[in-house]
Structure 1
Amino acid sequence: MKILQVLTYSKADTHWPTSQIAMLISAITLTILLASCASNQQLVAVKSAEPGSLLSDQWQTVSLGDHKMGYRHIRRELNSERINSTETLALTLSQPGTRDRKISTILSYQESINGKAISLSKTMTSETANHQMNAKVSGNTLVVTLKQDAKVEKYAIPEPFYLPEGLRLALLKHEPRDVPLTYYSWNFSTRSFDKISLTINAYTDSANSAYAWHIQKATAIGENSKTSDIFTDAHFYPLTERSHSNGEDVLFASCDRACATADFIPNTHVYRQLIQSPYRISDSALQGKIRYHLSGDFDLQPPTTYEQSVTISPEGTELVVCGNCGTESPPSDEDLNTALKDNYWLPAQNPIFKNLVAELLPDHDSDPSGQMQRLTRFVTRHMSDEPSYSGYATALEAFNSQQGDCTEHALLLATLARAANIPTRVVFGLAYNNERFLGRKYVFVPHAWVQAWTGSKWESFDSGLGDFTAGYIALGLSNGDQSDILKINEQLHKIRIASAIQIRRR
């Protein structure tokens, strides 16, 4: 599988959006609770099956828009009075200027034959990110284990809570049909429960006689929702699903193994996240002050920071960006403590990072800004010049692999800073590129960088692109959690930069 392209590559390409890949995977895996069962033609009746029996084996192609991305394989077995469902999602993504990247995500579920949830797990594997998360139902509590650091988290389970077979059985029993079925499912990407509503309609179009039900699925995301259309047989085994996400449809279509796993030419999905600038912004303007006007029906409120002021009106969102344009209030002691905390994505208390910062930072240098500059230079040198956007890696994974893009740069830099007792936060937003990026000019690209509290202000540091300029637009602040970047990426396709005006001193 090859794509012949003429591209200009530069170090600036380190802001290739891993975030979009994470968003795509999240959008796909969110559909599991209705897409993980097989068609009735492959079904073996559970009650008549022998222990160890294969209940179903289903293959699907996965496409974004009109372009194939990979396949999904769903296998259901009966084992010791339990139904084990395993879904393998294999994606191949094109990365201009280098080889294609493969990402594998495996979701596993254990349920009783009556549909009672027992346990579930998620394993994601790529060149840069390898995550394993396990969850077990204990009474009314979901006990989640994050394998990388053996951290255990507990969550109260809302009712009703379903895994795949439990949901299918609930659909069979649900009456009346004109009332939506509402339930909760677990989302490993956000480590929270999604509230989902299913509207069930009889399928009456004679175009496909295999369909019996058309289910409209809505997953609540803040004040908005992610939607999909699912077409099932009479027993609520899905045959086709079209998930609406980020402005384009993800299509799951059942076929045989040969069809699902057949070779294809991967599409360069990162192009979909580029936002065109209304015109070229000069280098001198980037070193000064720029007023942006953002339009569109996006559901984001960009933060006011020391470097960015925000005004929201019915006409849109106005941002003014420069080195000292904002009027952000100083952080409280609680804010600073939060910005120092160790977490799954930023494991600042790991001895590897504690020992490293002791080597990198001289005892006599107590200036936080100077320390951040040293740490930034280290991350720039440590990470590979060839960016990789295959997954969303933790800071420890990024350090070990030395691979990634802007998100891995930002997570590693923020972790080192916290290990050095410098409060930091990860910024997700956009960065303007005045050079040719992926063959295109004058575009804003999804980007991540770090802001550190240097004693009097939150100051930006970026080991991927270099010094902060007025071309940086902050859309959200985070402690590095993947769920934060997913929420922002759901809105990117709705954002239009209507104007970018340099503000000159009089």
Structure 2
Amino acid sequence: MSTTFQLSISIFGILLATTFSCFASHPVIDDVQLQKWYKVLINDRKVGSSTLHVLTHKHGTTTTDSLSIETKQQARQKVRTNIISVHEETLDGQALSFRKVMNVPNLERRFIATIKSDKLLVQTIDNNSDTTKEYDLPQPILLFNGVRKHLINILANNKNKTLSYYSWDFTRLDFNLIELKIENPEERTNTRYWKIAKTVTSDRPEPKKSYFYTDAEFYQSEISFQLSGKKVDIIECSEACATKRNKPYNNFSAMFKNSPYRLPKRARQGKIRYELSFSGEKKLDLPNTFEQNTFTKNGRTFVDVCDQCGTESAPDSLDQYLSPNAWVQSDHPTIQKAAKRKAGKKRSSHAKMKALERYVEARMTGKIQYIGYGSALDAYTSKVGDCTEFALLLAALSKSAGIPTRVVIGLAYSEETFEGRDHIFIPHAWVQAWVDDRWKSYDAAYDGFDAGYIALGIFDGNKRDYIEISRHIHQIEITSASRVIQEEPYTP
């Protein structure tokens, strides 16, 4: 079995972060309702809609933002994902609470964030768990109505026309620092009355910058951005326009990579040298592992892959690779019990990993769903998912069995036929476990590691890094692949 990464989930993360900081509530008048409609386009193809509903009452404002995206999977299967965000504020724009509900096939996940004095309590509820964590609250933290009120005030009193504040990111489970600067558009219209420059600072190496447009009252009217090589537009329009029939985007095949040659199984059992080319401004830094050696020669990028092709320094500590997180719940009693039952009697780490690999493959009997990003516990309970769920479940089980483990995103060669294409590279996820004093790959969703795997990034299984790494896949092309019979001497 194999899979592709989903464009739609990346869209949701960015859309929610955008609407979180841009929409605002209506001026304070008792029991006033406001509703706006938006169409969502990918490469000028309508794939969904969004609505903004603001209710102002004597106790404050309630702002509801609903987003619906329709995509296609293999065999033209349509999948709809819905996300609803609700923000509660006082009449003067003070944040009280906010919540989000995400619904994809076989999974509903709810987040409820409540402000208590100088703390933010974040409750996460899904099919299998209910957890609450406490975070220190930075200031100022603003929601829809608060952002709008501050922008109006800044327009009148701040020469720099700049607003800085914090917002909560449900994907990162952390705060982002947002800076908005009011600018005049190139040509002023009713829907392009203000141009807003937005800078988001998080734990990424570089701040993320973008622009969007609002009407005269600072309600968002239009935003455009590039995502995984695709142009995404969210544009205000009439209800009839927004609810017009969608043309679902085929996110299953969009990330396939052509192989320059057919790579038979025998060749993949040895060593293969790939040459990669990159498009776009930023080139993805490929990792060097015990199974992969990346080098540049005469300005060209090459990757050697085999069982022991590369070198990698041993980590100072393996503790972080045993730690659970929100997506890899290795400390959950259900996961611990399964790991002990399936791997407890095995003597070596390799034997334990092979037993857990077989167990995950046997357990995941549900329909393959190329949508969403379920946790290890979601995968264990529902038995449904794609390669990411297979990898997260295997990582949780192996960590619970005491084996340090990390998750890998990359490309895997497939001889299977997808959307009429075969002998292609498909975005894929697997794990690497610390076995016999080295990192070794294991894959419960496919036929096992060989030289047909190219690692693009390594992470701990959290959704934030998954999105960040997978967004670069569209920049990569495999221009050459050759079996290495005799090692060529090379000095970088």
TM-score clears 0.5:
yes
- CA RMSD after TM alignment: 2.5
Provide the residue aligned with 1:32 in structure 2. 19
> Hey, what does 1:162 align to over in structure 2?
142
- Alignment partners' CA distance in 1, 2:437 and 2:265: 28
Question: Could you tell me how far apart the structure 2 residues matched to 1:237 and 1:412 are?
Answer: 42
Q: Which residue of 1 aligns with 2:490?
A: none
| Residues 291-370 of structure 1 aligned to structure 2 (within 5 Å) | 291-296=273-278, 297-311=281-295, 315-332=299-316, 334-335=317-318, 337-361=319-343, 363=345, 365-370=346-351
Which residue is equivalent to 1:91?
A: 69
Structure 2 vs 1, CA of residues 125 and 218 (structure 1 numbering), >3 Å: closer, same or farther?
same
Deviations along 1:323-361, one digit per CA (max 9) or x if unpaired, are 0112122344x32x2222222111112222222233323
Shift of 1:224: 4.3
Map of 1:5 onto structure 2: none
Q: 1:188 aligns with which of 154, 162, 170?
A: 170
- Correspondence for 1:123: 101
Aligned to 1:17: 5
Distance 1:196 1:314, change over 3 A: farther
* 1:490 is aligned to 2:479: no
Alpha-carbon distance between aligned partners in 2 of 1:316 and 1:24, rounded to the nearest angstrom: 32
Q: What is the 5 A alignment of 1:115-264? A: 115-148=93-126, 149-174=129-154, 176=158, 180-203=162-185, 205=187, 208-220=189-201, 222-264=204-246
Deviation string, structure 1 residues 357-392 (Cα, Å, up to 9, x no partner): 3332362x2122122112111211221364212210
SS at structure 2 position matched to 1:154: strand
Worse overlay, 192-201 or 115-124: 192-201
Q: Number of aligned pairs?
A: 480
- Per-residue deviation at 1:461? 1.0
Percent identity between the aligned chains? 32
Q: Which runs of 5+ in 2 are unaligned?
A: 488-492
Alpha-carbon separation, structure 2, partners of 1:406 and 1:480? 12
Q: Deviations over 1:467-487 (max 9, x none)?
A: 101121112222210011111
- Displacement of 1:179 in angstroms is 5.3
| Secondary structure in 1 matching 2:48 | strand
| CA shift in 2, pair 1:314/1:370, >3 Å | same
What is residue 69 of structure 1 aligned with on the other side?
A: 47
The one-character-per-residue Cα deviations of 1:96-139 (angstroms, maximum 9, x if unpaired) are 22631121111121222222222222221112332222222234
Partner letter of residue 211 of structure 1?
Answer: R
1:434 to partner: Cα distance: 3.6
Change (3 A) 1:457 1:157: same
Quickly say closer, same or farther: Cα 1:501–1:264, change in 2 above 3 A. same
| Alpha-carbon contact 2:366-2:382 (below 8 Å) kept | no
Aligned 8 A contact 1:227 1:244 in 2? no
- Conserved 8 A contact 2:201-2:207: yes
SS of the residue 1:475 aligns to: strand
Superposed, which structure 2 residues align to 1:445-464 within 5 Å? 445-464=426-445
Mapped contact 2:118–2:136 kept (Cα < 8 A): yes
Q: Secondary structure at the match of 1:349?
A: coil
Amino acid in structure 2 at the alignment position of 1:164: F
**CA distance, structure 2, for counterparts of residue 219 and residue 300 of structure 1:** 21
Q: Which amino acid is 2:56 matched to? A: L
Gaps of 5+ in 1: 1-10
Structure of higher RCO (CA pairs closer than 8 Å, 6+ residues apart)? 1
Cα deviation for residue 299 of structure 1 reads 4.6
| 1:148-185 deviation digits (Å, cap 9, x = unpaired) | 44433333344443211111122112255665444332
Instruction: Go from structure 1 to structure 2 and tell me whether the alpha carbon gap of 1:133 and 1:299 turns closer, same or farther (over 3 Å shift).
Output: farther
SS at match of 1:493: helix
Segment of structure 1 superposing worse, 483-492 or 376-385: 376-385
For 2:282, give the aligned amino acid: F
The TM-score with structure 1 as length reference comes to 0.87
Q: What SS does structure 2 have at the residue aligned with 1:393? A: coil
Distance 1:210 1:437, change over 3 A: closer
Distance change >3 Å, CA 241–CA 464, structure 1 → 2: same
Quickly say closer, same or farther: Cα 1:98–1:384, change in 2 above 3 A.
farther
Q: Deviation of residue 393 (structure 1)?
A: 0.5
Would the aligned equivalents of 2:42 and 2:231 in 1 still touch at CA under 8 Å? Answer: yes
CA 1:161–1:317 in structure 2 vs 1: closer, same or farther (change >3 Å)? farther
CA 1:355–1:59: 2 relative to 1, 3 Å: same
Residue 460 of structure 1, CA deviation: 0.9
Identify if the C-alpha distance between structure 1 residues 339 and 266 changes in structure 2 by more than 3 Å, giving closer, same or farther. Answer: same
CA distance in 2, matches of 1:434, 1:94: 22
Q: CA deviation at 1:220?
A: 4.2
Pairing 1:400–2:349 present: no
Equivalent position amino acid for 1:410 in 2: A
Q: State the secondary structure of the residue aligned to 1:132.
A: strand
Letter in 2 for 1:463: A
SS at 2:451's partner residue?
A: coil
Give the letter for the 2:120 counterpart.
L
User: Residues 199 and 215 of structure 1 are in contact (CA less than 8 Å); yes or no, is this contact kept in structure 2?
Assistant: yes
> C-alpha separation between the residues in 2 aligned to 1:430 and 1:80?
55
Select between 176-185 and 470-479 the one with higher mean Cα deviation: 176-185
Contact 2:4 2:253 in 1 (8 A): no
Q: In structure 2, what is the Cα distance between the partners aligned to 1:270 and 1:171?
A: 41
Change (3 A) 1:32 1:468: same
Contact 2:296 2:302 in 1 (8 A): yes
Letter paired with 1:302: L
Give the Cα separation in 2 of the matches to 1:178 and 1:260. Answer: 36
Q: Note the C-alpha offset of 1:400.
A: 1.6
Residues in 2 aligned to 1:480 and 1:77: alpha-carbon distance in whole angstroms? 38
Q: Does 1:467 align with 2:448?
A: yes
In 2: Cα distance, 1:224 partner to 1:106 partner: 29
